[in-house]
Amino acid sequence: MAYPEGTDNPILQKRILRASSFLECLDSTTPLELQVKQFTKQHPEMGSKDRKVFQDLVYGTLRLRHAFEHLSWKEACEHAHSIWNSENPQEAWKNSPWSERPLFPMDVTNSIPESEWKAGFFSPRKVFVRQMQAGKFGFAAWLEKEGVLEKVEGKTLTLKKPKAMENAPGWAPGRFEVMDLAVQTWSEDLPKLENGQKVLDACCASGGKSLLLLEANPNIELTATDVRENILRSYRGRLGNHTRNIEIFAKNWEEENPLPTKFDFILADVPCSGSGTWLRSPQHLSDFTAEQLQEHAERQKRIVTNLSKHLEKNGKLMYVTCSIFEEENEKMVDFMEKSLGLSPIWQNYYWKWNEGGDSIFCALME
């Protein structure tokens, strides 16, 4: 039997079999990170090297799975290992027999050149932390001592790899927040709002963007909603660390159930495909369909239609996704302009794949 280059080692073959068996039973409804943690916990015989190789095999294979869809999971693991463990994975991919196969299930936006997003596709993922409170707390020094700190730029700490930080010197909820680079960069373009203006974070999730809104505009009157009660519990805990007085309640913005309040500024970080984050959650590269994309777009239209009715005169709506599909981004801007009477002020992709982060899209409408 001929193995791909570098995969004929018996120990590696055992690891490949373990990873391929795991991938065959993957649950598309459960976060990949959680499934990997559960698997390694159930196999205490795996040493640190086994766990590292297992995780690399799982994530690396899933990143390339769409191109490898005709291969068995074992074959896909072997070829993925050969590519990702080469000196230059992008060049290895270009020189492989699979290079003409699509890496994504459908075309990504034309706003990001193909050469650029493909280069970012093969970049290693990193961890980003934002310092929310001014001061020297010893946290960055500890990260540097542990060998995981790559750099500090302004409020952003870049880590080369994940690291348990909860018990680190200087770490405290509300003082530091794990927050992707794309989101931190997006926050630099948040508009300056007047004190006392009414602001709605319509799909607030666990509160990362609310934190950045309040960092830029500490004296706004903030209302936060989400359709998921469980995520609102996380939001309350996270924002509670910042001692904010925020009105928080469950609300499904797909339904026509108006509130008595109108808002000067609405943040609509709408549910989407999440394709801008698929390098961190690569299982979706093989199971996402065009039908699902259309369902997302229709859902987004219902949400922004209902939200637009809650804008004050001269109010602004900021539309955000973590998608790199035109259907959810540029075409949604066209819909809001033609169907809702909103005018685009600006729109932009915060593209951080090549720096180890995610990608988000944002459009400011009025």
Tokens of 278: 């698929």
Least confident of 117-131, 230-244, 253-267: 230-244
Q: What percent of the chain has pLDDT over 70?
A: 98
Confidence of residue 46 (pLDDT cuts 50, 70, 90): very high
Asked whether 259 and 310 are in contact (CB, 8 A), the reply is yes
How far is 20 from 152, CA to CA, in rounded Å?
38
**What are the structural domains of the chain?**
10-103 (no CATH), 127-178 (no CATH), 184-365 (3.40.50.150)
Over residues 89-112, mean pLDDT: 93
| pLDDT value at 334 more than 70 | yes
From the list 159, 158, 217, the residue with the least C-alpha distance to 187 is: 217
pLDDT at 3: 66
Q: What is the pLDDT of residues 280-319, one digit of tens each?
A: 999 888 889 999 999 999 999 999 999 999 999 999 999 9
Residue-wise DSSP of 82-141: HHHTSS-HHHHHHTSTTTTS-SSSSPPPTTS-HHHHHHHHTSPP-EEEEE-S-S--SHHH
pLDDT at 8: 75
Q: CA-CA-CA-CA torsion for 329, 334, 335, 338, nearest 10 degrees? A: 170
User: For the segment 195-233, what is each residue's pLDDT rounded down to a tens digit?
Assistant: 999 999 999 999 999 999 999 999 999 999 999 999 999
What pLDDT is recorded for position 5?
63
- Between helices 73-84 and 10-24, what is the axis angle to 10°? 120
CA pair distance 248, 165, nearest whole angstrom: 28
pLDDT above 90: residue 330: yes
pLDDT tens-digit series, residues 114-156 = 989 999 999 999 999 999 999 999 999 999 999 999 999 999 9
Instruction: Read off the pTM.
Output: 0.94
